[in-house]
Structure 1
Amino acid sequence: MWSAAAASNGLVLSEVDATALASTLPLGPAEIADAVARLARQPREAGEPIARLLRHVAVDQEKDALPPSVRSVATRFSWDDLVLAEKAKTELRSIAAHFTWSASVLDRWGFVDRLTYGRGVSALFSGASGTGKTMAAQVLARELGVELLLVDLSRTVSKYLGETEKNIDTAFRVAERRGALLLFDEADALFGKRSDVKDAHDRHANVEVAYLLQRMEAFEGIAILTTNLKQNIDDAFLRRLRFIVDFPLPDAAAREVIWRQAFPDRAPLADDIDFGFLGRRLQLTGGTIQQIALHAAFAAVDGGAIEMRHVLAATQRELDKLGMFDAGRALEGRAARVGAA
């Protein structure tokens, strides 16, 4: 239907793209025809990917108000923004390939008959806070041209019987209808290990976990879980995950790259900023480095340029906030020299 509708409107849609649209957007004939016709009427720049534009138009048709437990997240980051070991990047590209080629491998080649836990692509991103897990989910969503939906766990988990399961089902249904990537941030709060039943609360929690297992198996899109504590995720979920991607703390070379990327091209930087020193001396995550860069920029905005003293002062402030007092004291000598200069 996608191929026929595109051809009748003078659009060229490859078999791979038509298959991906068909397998990830549960639309009927009228909705498909309407989406293609609407795109055909819109002005387009030469070279724009037709499949991605069709997905956006089709999803816009389904964009009713999101439930309180789900919110849409902007996808601004690309592969170049993601400073990760090549092994982790390879795993992320494999996730994208599993989504893109799902129909070809599972249906045409018959691998759907060999699946034990469902045809959806599920992944766990594990690592310390600030190592790029949520950014990686944004990169994947942008690469695939799909919407990124974040499950708000504070509005999903409920003390009332059956409400958590209802909220979980709503999140999956919305993601299915919109062909979106579904992200569970800090997932151990929802996907935690089941406990021995000692009271009604334990029984209720275990029922929620069991329902979540069933719902994930039925989901045909991409579901990503992020956690700082992989050991707290229930083993039953780990067995069902197709990918587990570890996000290690960045080494000195990676930290230097992150420091350089933390400042936009338009930001006025003084010549005295020593990115090599910052990368070698401070064992920080990308999230913390970005916070420091932002504070340094606000401190420097009335002076016209971001200098090393601004960066060091912002770093000291962030280290104190994190309780990293030894690392902060190690900066004092460098800060004193910069101040004297």
Structure 2
Amino acid sequence: MLAQKLRLDLYRIDISSVVSKYIGETEKNLRRVFDAAEQGGVILLFDEADALFGKRSEVKDARDRYANIEVSYLLQRMESYPGLAVLTTNLKSSIDTAFLRQIRFVVQFPFSDTTQRAEIWRRVFPADTPTADLDALQLARLNVAGGNIRNIALNAAFIAADAGEPVQMKHVLRAAQAEYTKLEKPKKYHWGRTTLMMRLYLFAEGQTKQTFADTLIKPHLAQHEVFMHPLG
């Protein structure tokens, strides 16, 4: 969006193609990037910048020394670069403080709250995606980031397409369970009260608590040999 507003080209730097295990090659790759950017007047985007702009460490061996040289060279080029550079990271604390001093603006994107997640859910499916009875407020109770919402929505669309149905709450629930498993997040099933996943399941299927336990909870807990109490 920034490049579009300024009518400039955007170069997204592929860290894997820049960083080299061979001594001196990383600096050469960086020099080519900055030279091309200076000639073309483009915006540089360093995604996952902490991998390249990491803190310089205490020198204990030759590897540390050359890694520090790479960071120092990158700092010099950033200081002299006349264009616009954008760095993105989830690990701000890992970036060398010398780079942070050179950054004019730091924009933080806090974890989205329930209202914001609901708005993301309303917009995540393209307008031509067939959907039915999706409840954004219910789905917003899934405490996940926007990127995970996108993953869940995409997976739900695949599940629904495979079933030949419009995207419904039951498809989103299955996709959410898969995403939670990938994130290694506990589902936190509790006896005696209806939890979030149970609410979503009941909302999607119109089922009873006992049906929920029989179809989803008991098979899961049985795999881990967890002692089960009756639902209250």
Q: So what's the TM-score if we normalise by structure 1? A: 0.56
Residue 213 of structure 1 corresponds to 75
Matched, 1:305 2:141: no
How far residue 247 of structure 1 moved from its aligned partner, in angstroms, is: 1.2
Structure with the bigger percentage of strand: 1
Query: Are 2:142 and 2:196, in contact at CA under 8 Å, matched by a contact in 1?
Result: no
CA contact (8 A) 1:282 1:327 kept: no
**Moved beyond 3 Å, runs of 4+:** 327-330
The amino acid that maps onto 1:226 is: T
In structure 2, give the amino acid aligned to 1:319: Y
What is the total number of aligned residue pairs between the two structures?
A: 201
Superposition RMSD in Å: 1.7
Aligned counterparts of 1:277 and 1:204: Cα–Cα separation in 2: 52
8 Å CA contact 2:168–2:204 kept in 1: the answer is no
Partner-residue secondary structure (3-state), 1:287: helix
Alignment of 1:166-315 (within 5 A): 166-270=28-132, 272-279=133-140, 281-301=141-161, 302-315=163-176
Partner of 1:157: 19
SS at match of 2:129: coil
Contact 1:191–1:233 (CA under 8 A) maintained in structure 2: yes
Q: Which moved more, 1:192-201 or 1:231-240?
A: 192-201
Contact 1:319 1:327 in 2 (8 A): no
Q: CA deviation at 1:339?
A: 2.4
Percent of residue pairs bearing the same amino acid type: 52
1:157 CA drift (Å): 1.3
Q: 1:327 to 1:172 in 2, by over 3 A?
A: farther
Take 2:101 and 2:196, find their aligned partners in 1: how far apart are those partners? 44
Counterpart residue identity of residue 257, structure 1: E
Unaligned runs of 5+ in 1: 1-138
Secondary structure at 1:325 match in 2: coil
Deviation digits for residues 156-183 of structure 1 (CA, Å, limit 9, x no counterpart): 1112221111111111122223322111
- Within-5 A mapping of 1:1-341: 139-270=1-132, 272-279=133-140, 281-301=141-161, 302-326=163-187, 330-340=196-206
Q: Deviations over 1:215-263 (max 9, x none)?
A: 0111111111111111111111111111111111101111001111101
Runs (5+) with no aligned partner, structure 2:
190-194, 208-232
Normalising by structure 2, report the TM-score.
Answer: 0.81
Instruction: State the AA in 2 paired with 1:307.
Output: Q
Partner Cα distance (1:190, 1:263) in 2: 34
Matched with 1:24 is: none
State the distance in 1 between where 2:126 and 2:40 align.
Answer: 32
